[in-house]
Amino acid sequence: MALAEPASPAAEGARHEGCGTLASILADTLREIGAHTGAIYRLVPQRQVLELLVMEGLPREFVQPWERVSLSAPIPVADALRDRRLVWITGEEEMAHRYPAVAVALPYEFSLAALPLSVGEDDYGAMFVVWSGAYPPPSAGERDRLTAAAAVLARRLRDLPPGPATPGRDEVAAAVPDRAEMLGAMVGRLPEGICTLDARGRLTYISPKGAALLGESPLRLLGIQPWTVLTWLDDPVYEDRYRRAMISQQPTSFVALRPPDRWLSFELYPSISGVTVRITPAPADSEPQPAPRQPVDVALPTRAGAIYHVLHLAGTLTQAMSVQDVVDLLADQIVPAFGAHAVALLTAHEGRVAVLGHRGFPQHVVDQYGRLSLTAPTPSVRTMVTGVPGFFESEKELYDIYPSAVAPDDGMAAWALLPLIASGRPVGTCVIAFAEPHRFTVEERAVLTSLGGLLAQALERARLYDATLELAHGLQQGLLPHAFPDVPGLKAAARYLPGTEGMDIGGDFYDLIRLPGDTAAAVIGDVQGHNVTAAALMGQLRTAIRAYATAGADPGEVLSRTNHLLTELSSALFASCAYVHLDLPHGTARVARAGHPHPLIRRPGGRVEVLEVPDGMLLGVSPETTYTCLDVSLEPGAILALYTDGLVETPGKDIDEGLAVLSAELAAAGDRPLDELADHLIARAPAPGGHSDDIALLLLRLTGPGR
């Protein structure tokens, strides 16, 4: 596969110089506003991805899950650029509320501001800055300073030559500080051990007492991260304390067991350049945390950064409900974090490979996957059958291992094949592809392999959800009327909007029943709940009301009999209902109500009235309840509006306010065709997930005899 031509030395030098300038501006901004960390992301427009370009204050490893993020990802920098606004997070609690996936991966006390980097109408990237601990919303001066810095950085970013993201200025190198001899003598007089770590966790100094307490030579410790040499500190919990200190810029401490039986106390005091650690023998009566851990012989330990990466992936996938949600989250938020360009989810179905979802692959490649049998000698099938992941860093490596494999012809140059293992058995393969050769580090392979397990679990949940949703759809469709009967002199339109996001099922119902003598009955009701139980009870009520109506019962009698039936069912659910008997030849209606919102009537001149029907108790409360009727005159052109409370109720607002708005909308738009009017009224309702109740609407317009 042909690779992009490398940048010229001049362009490369200009880009590095530009990154250095960005880093200097960012560092100056951090000092002025009292923040300790900041980062600049560059937008890759053709992929709608933000790439980390410059990081100041903390190592890039701290934001490893967000080295590359989709512009649609729910994280502060993406929101800031997508919405072109300042995103402000005042502390850990707000982060957990607004960005739970980020809070899981960075469970520390810090505040954050994210801003877009735009010039005019053009977007070039985004930035964020971090403060220690909880930080109040910015003052006008701080906001102006941030906005001004963002404007300068945006112009610099615009002029930066294209090229791969670079680390920016290197963090402080591990070395003994100046005047070390004098400082060492001073610290050596202290009764406790002292050591210092730079921003990347590398030991830059340790006192003789500190080295003695750790039981290791200072020369072996200097310049490295202590937990990579001291096996008894090789636990992500201990590294987490260092990360917590650096991100929150607040002191922290822990106790660890130095084998075989010596407990040591570590107190960490951070600054933006690193951490000073005080080491002392732990008191005999201390409660050591975390629990002791036996040393293990692991050549390549899992770092805390990798663990937080997995936590971020797990948090992201918990947002998925359906299989399509899993595919979308994987493609939009997870794959960009690895710098990949395409993804496909494959599963086994009746002895062949089935494609659950894909993004970035040409259609002919997707079709090729769909034609594979489970005996095909291809890497993706092998991973699916054996449960062993495959990592191919180049096309050459792929064909060295699979010389007989057919060229994928997918325009990619490196692939990660992750087994999807559920309930202990392989059920599919996740194919992640890169447009250029890609080196998979040990840590990245571990994270990607973990991703395969998380995906398998998410897909199992999603498949169960999809099956339940299909059942719910079938039940709902079977219970609500598919079409209204043709009633001379009457036109009808209805709409239903579920209140539970994703699960289009609830307890609201409506019906129109043709009765003898050019009469009709209209009913609308609302059963408690948004689940299959509520829908099933709704079906029973609708059937009972239809039976009592066709038997010629008066509206009050229909509700009384239905109420008696519901109390006998002992369902523990209640229902509201409004029932209308329409005598079309005489232009009258008789209405009864059981705890349901008042019907509305729009007269031909546009005036809207609330029908003050005497209220009766909810159905299912008391078997002896009776219901009083109200007689109403109707003229040709009048519109009767029956609805459930979800259309007029909004959390935090009075229901009378919602009723007034609905009345005004009905008055203003009532001359429209009935279906258009129904769409207009339902459109004013909150979007699914923004309201807590289902919504049903039934509109009836009298057209006059024979029309």
Helix, coil or strand: residue 490: strand
Cβ contacts of 507 within 8 Å, gap of 6 or more = 526, 527, 528, 529, 530, 534, 535, 537, 538, 573, 575, 694
Residue 199 domain boundaries = 183-285+301-305
If one compares 87 and 31, the residue with the highest pLDDT of the two is 87
Residue type at 434 in one-letter notation: F
CB 122 within 8 A of CB 41: no
154 falls in which pLDDT band (50, 70, 90)? Answer: very high
Mean pLDDT of 56-84: 86
Give the separation between CA 275 and CA 272, rounded to whole angstroms: 8
Within this chain, do residues 455 and 540 fall inside the same structural domain, yes or no?
no
Is residue 405 domain-shared with residue 537, that is, in the same domain? no
Q: Is residue 174, in this structure, part of any structural domain at all? A: no
Q: Are residues 490 and 457 in the same domain?
A: no
| pLDDT score, position 34 | 77
Q: Is residue 310 part of a domain?
A: no
The 10 Å Cβ neighbour count of residue 273 is 14
Mean pLDDT of the chain: 81
Q: Residue 619 gets which letter from DSSP?
A: B
* pTM strictly above 0.75: no
CB-based contact 390:379 (threshold 8 Å):
yes
Cα end-to-end distance, the chain, whole Å = 71
Task: Name the least confident of 263-267, 402-406, 411-415.
Answer: 402-406
Cβ atoms within 10 Å, residue 703: 16
Boundary (domain end) residue, out of 407, 439, 471: 471
Number of domains in the chain: 4
Token pair recorded at residue 513: 């029943």
Rounded CA-CA distance 556/682 in Å is 29
Q: Is residue 222 part of a domain?
A: yes
Tell me if 163 is assigned to some domain. no
Report the greatest alpha carbon distance in the chain: 109
**Continuous H helices in 34-139:** 76-83, 92-98, 100-105
Based on the domain organization, do 454 and 537 belong to the same domain?
no
Same domain, 677 and 529: yes
- Are the C-beta atoms of residues 35 and 58 closer than 8 Å to each other? no
Whether 214 is in a domain gets the answer: yes
Check: CB of residue 474 under 8 Å from CB of residue 506: no
Does residue 286 carry a pLDDT above 50?
no
Percent of the chain with pLDDT over 90: 25
Q: Across residues 10-38, what is the average pLDDT?
A: 79
Over range 454-462, report the average pLDDT: 81
Residues 71 and 147 in one domain: yes
Residue 91's pLDDT band (cuts 50, 70, 90): confident
Q: What is the CATH number of the domain that holds 343?
A: 3.30.450.40
Domain edge (last residue) among 305, 336, 356: 305
In this prediction, residue 440 carries a pLDDT of 87
Q: Report the Cα 390 to chain-centroid distance in Å.
A: 29
| Secondary structure (DSSP) of 353-375 | EEEEEEESS-HHHHHHHHT-BTT
pLDDT one-digit tens code per residue, 581-590: 999 999 999 9
Same domain membership, residue 628 and residue 523: yes
pLDDT of residue 233: 86
* Closest listed residue to residue 430, CA positions, set 315, 329, 327, 339: 327
Same domain, 574 and 681: yes
Q: Quick: pLDDT tens for 303-318.
A: 445 545 555 566 667 6
Q: What's the Rg (C-alpha) of the chain?
A: 34
Q: How many Å separate Cα 444 from the centre of its chain? A: 23
Residue 571 in domain: yes
Strands 193-198 and 274-281: what pairing? antiparallel
Q: Which of 10-14, 464-468, 544-548 has the lowest mean pLDDT?
A: 10-14
CA distance 237 to 648: 51
Q: What is the pLDDT of residue 407?
A: 54
Question: Does 36 have pLDDT greater than 90?
Answer: no
pLDDT, greater one: 443 or 491: 491
337-364 pLDDT tens trace: 788 888 888 888 878 888 888 888 888 8
Question: What CATH number corresponds to the domain at position 621?
Answer: 3.60.40.10
Reported confidence tier of residue 243, pLDDT bands at 50, 70, 90: confident
Listed residues 419, 441, 471: the one ending a domain? 471
Residue among 83, 50, 85, 80 nearest 65 (CA): 50
Q: Are residues 466 and 501 in the same domain?
A: no
User: 554 and 428 share a domain?
Assistant: no
- Domain assignment present for residue 525? The answer is yes
* 325, part of any domain: yes
Residues 104 and 195 occupy one common structural domain: no
For residues 588 and 581, what is the distance between their CA atoms, to the nearest angstrom?
8
- The CATH number linked to 217 is 3.30.450.20
User: Do 462 and 501 fall into the same domain?
Assistant: no
Helix H or strand E encompassing 561: helix 555-569
Do the Cβ atoms of 555 and 520 come closer than 8 Å? no
3-state secondary structure of 450: helix
Question: Which of these ranges, 264-273, 420-429, 623-632, has the smallest mean pLDDT?
Answer: 420-429
Which of 88-92, 275-279, 446-450 is modeled with the greatest confidence?
275-279
